[in-house]
């Protein structure tokens, strides 16, 4: 279980770093997070963390 959580934390970090450095990816993530996040093998909880983080970045 811990390994899965570590993997998800890495994926979350990867997505957020990419969003911070790639405006096109960030805009797509803001516009249609469901479609973008479908490409990643993470839990619904991880997707929610990413969505909340992206919202925080845009405010």
The span from the CA of 52 to the CA of 36, in Å, is: 14
Q: Considering the entire predicted model, what is its pTM?
A: 0.85
Return the beta strands (E) in the chain as ranges. Answer: none
Report domain extents, the chain. Answer: 2-58
pLDDT by residue (tens digit) across 9-23?
999 999 999 999 999
In the structure, what pLDDT confidence band is assigned to residue 1 with cuts at 50, 70 and 90? low
Examine the pLDDT at 26 and tell me if it is beyond 80: yes
> CB–CB of 54/19 below 8 Å?
yes
Query: Which residue has better confidence, 1 or 20?
Result: 20
| Residue 29: φ, ψ to 5° | -65, -40
- Answer whether residue 37 shows pLDDT above 70: yes
More confident residue, 54 or 49: 49
């Amino acid at each position: 279980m811990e390994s899965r959580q570590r993997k998800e934390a890495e994926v979350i970090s990867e997505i957020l770093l990419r969003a911070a450095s790639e405006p096109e990816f960030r805009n797509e993530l803001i516009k249609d997070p469901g479609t973008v996040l479908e490409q990643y093998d993470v839990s619904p909880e991880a997707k929610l963390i990413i969505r909340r983080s992206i919202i925080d970045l845009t405010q």
